[in-house]
Amino acid sequence: MTDSAQNSPPQTAPTATSLTETERKRTEQKKAVPNGVEHRSSVLTSYDPRTSELLGDYAMMGADEVTRTIREAKSAQKWWAGLGSSGRKRWLLDWKKAIAKRAADLVEVVVQETGKPHDDAWLEVMLAVEHLDWAAKNAGKVLDRHKVRSGLVAMNQASSVGYEPLGVVGVIGPWNYPVYTPMGSIAYALAAGNAVVFKPSELTPGTGTWLAETWRTLAPNQPVFQVVTGDADTGAALCRSRVDKVSFTGSAATARKVLAICAESLTPAVIEGGGKDAMIVGGDAKLDAAAEAAVFGGMGNAGQTCVGVERVYVVETVFDDFVALVETKARKLKPGADRGAAYGPMTREAQVEVVRDHVRDALDKGGTAVVGGLDSIREPYIQPIVLVDVPEDSIAVTEETFGPVLVINRVRDLSEAIARANATSFALGASVFTQDTRTGQWVAERLRAGVVTINSVLGFAGVAALPFGGVGDSGFGRIHGADGLREFSRVKSIARQKRRAPLHLLTMDRKARHLRVSKWVFKTRHTR
């Protein structure tokens, strides 16, 4: 591998005091370091979004380096596929153990590159390891060849279905959850027998490099899992490298660019393109629990969660009480760099302007800020912002905000809430709060979303067996669960004739009597 960190990250997180000391430095570096990344010829330099302190230099890998990496991966994949599901399981469980033993080191890298609190980084790493464990242990059961019934007409055939590796899978990961999100593709693609080339976000190259180096310590001569570091050009090179599939997580706009490049070589892709997730609160909901979930879903990770909560539709009979509870809980949250902070900075500097535009549009169109407002935006941090009665045509309602902003609107009933929740082009996740089990199921089944949680938010994230993905601008394809394993596999059906069919129709010497009997059987079976 050609990418390596030339400067080791600091071992301790900066304190709140150190932030004030580096404010002057941050101002000086903004022009030189757009979005927290500096490009110096062939070097990618990443920075701590809390302080602008340098974390490390990584290779800015071009098309030639990506091609060489893919070539190595193709060679290693043959060995990997030949191990079978049981052999790969042993390797992946060893990798899982290696990650778990050094989890504190990985957490520190994630904290430094994203700015999120240590507790949040720990949660991310633990969930990622759970998915790696599930994929390793269940791939054989899901993908190994198994018999299927041939049916009455083809009773002379022995039929089976199996799933084969695609080859080399290119994974392009995001910066908001640089371990958990890409692991949903990496673990499942590896368990299915593929080699993986991972291109982490240019904001989190150290996290991707750490994962790859951990694998390399186990299998130094088998580059089944490799990392290529760089910017958008590196990602484009990966898409053009004729990998066998691309898994991308990011904005819908970038997803379109990825698909356009993949179309050049008909490379299939699985896309997770972001969300504008809605929460619905019924009149019978436990309001304190719903408010707690709304604040967690909307403010956790500084609101930088694709399946977080951005819109809340509350039945008008409990609207005021719900808003009061959210307001109380949101006002207690304080972002910062210290270990006691509720959440960290905006990891991607440019996202601050997106949040500002959305809040301004909501207020200009008649919405009301009950917590915070435009003056809450003090980059790189954004204090909690809660907006109510925001018109549905505001970009704060229709477009992904990706910041610690909650929009809460009142509705007459659950039917209106469902209609509003389904009105955007995004359809990734959603949630509903009600004490009535049947009502919750009724709402969940009518929401246009890839995943719906009832009386919780993000509860599905720890259920490795549940497939995850979106609809519309939120993408297509699935990761996680059995569907996630099949997503990175090629199905092959085999039918073996055990004996000559009693009614032999698949011949040019077809007998009239056989066809007459077949017609009688057909009508007997299908017209009664």
pLDDT digits (tens, 9 = 90+) for 326-384: 999 999 999 999 989 999 999 999 999 999 999 999 999 999 999 999 999 999 999 99
Q: What angle do CA 370, 375, 376 make, to 5 degrees?
A: 70
Q: What is the pLDDT of residues 248-297, one digit of tens each?
A: 999 999 999 999 999 999 999 999 999 999 999 999 999 999 999 999 99
Sign of CA dihedral 170, 425, 443, 355: positive
Contact 330, 406 (CB under 8 A): yes
Whole-angstrom Cα distance, residue 17 to residue 15?
A: 5
Contact 43, 59 (CB under 8 A): yes
Closest CA to 398 of 358, 363, 448: 358
> What does the buried/exposed string (b/e) look like for 448-458 if buried means 16 or more CB atoms within 10 Å of the residue's CB?
bbbbbbebebb
- The 8-class DSSP code of residue 36 comes to G
With cut-offs at 50, 70 and 90, classify the pLDDT of residue 8.
Answer: very low
81 CB-near residues (< 8 Å, 6+ apart): 164, 165, 193, 194
- The 8-class DSSP code of residue 105 comes to H
Q: 227: phi > 0 → left, psi -120 to 50 → alpha, else beta; which?
A: beta
**pTM for this structure?**
0.91
> What does the buried/exposed string (b/e) look like for 491-500 if buried means 16 or more CB atoms within 10 Å of the residue's CB?
eeeeeeeeee
Question: Is the confidence at residue 97, as pLDDT, over 80?
Answer: yes
| Residues belonging to the active site | 272, 306
HEC string for 148-206: ECCCCCCCCEEEEEEEEECCEEEEECCCCCCCHHHHHHHHHHHHCCCEEEEECCCCCHH
The per-residue pLDDT for 480 is: 98
- The 8-class DSSP code of residue 228 comes to -
Contact 167, 79 (CB under 8 A): no
The per-residue pLDDT for 380 is: 96
Cα–chain-centroid distance for residue 395?
A: 23
Q: What is the pLDDT of residues 398-455, one digit of tens each?
A: 999 999 999 999 999 999 999 999 999 999 999 999 999 999 999 999 999 999 999 9
- The 8-class DSSP code of residue 515 comes to H
Whole-angstrom Cα distance, residue 131 to residue 313?
A: 32
Contact 464, 481 (CB under 8 A): yes
Closest CA to 487 of 512, 467, 510, 511: 467
With cut-offs at 50, 70 and 90, classify the pLDDT of residue 42.
Answer: confident
Whose tokens are 């099949």? That residue is 486
Omega before residue 10 within 30° of 0, cis: no
Whole-angstrom Cα distance, residue 296 to residue 309?
A: 8
Q: What is the pLDDT of residues 120-166, one digit of tens each?
A: 999 999 999 999 999 999 999 999 999 999 998 899 999 999 999 99
Q: What angle do CA 307, 312, 317 make, to 5 degrees?
A: 150
- Beta strands 368-371 and 385-388 are antiparallel
Helix H or strand E segment including 441: helix 437-446
Closest CA to 205 of 186, 182, 189: 182
Whole-angstrom Cα distance, residue 325 to residue 5?
A: 46
The per-residue pLDDT for 41 is: 53
Whole-angstrom Cα distance, residue 107 to residue 125?
A: 7
* Segments of 260-316 assigned E as strands: 269-272, 278-281, 311-315
Number of H helices, E strands in the chain: 17, 23
pLDDT > 70 fraction of the chain, expressed in percent and rounded: 92
With cut-offs at 50, 70 and 90, classify the pLDDT of residue 222.
Answer: very high
40: its two tokens: 């110096």
Q: What is the DSSP string of 9-33?
A: PPSSPPPHHHHHHHHHHHHHHHTTS
Lowest mean pLDDT among 19-23, 90-94, 289-293: 19-23
How much is the mean pLDDT over the chain? 93
Residues in the chain: 528
Which amino acid is residue 162, in one-letter code? G
> CB burial class (10 A; 0-12, 13-18, 19+) of residue 6?
exposed
With cut-offs at 50, 70 and 90, classify the pLDDT of residue 25.
Answer: very low
Q: What is the DSSP string of 392-427?
A: TTSHHHHS---SSEEEEEEESSHHHHHHHHTTSSEE
With cut-offs at 50, 70 and 90, classify the pLDDT of residue 325.
Answer: very high
The per-residue pLDDT for 467 is: 98
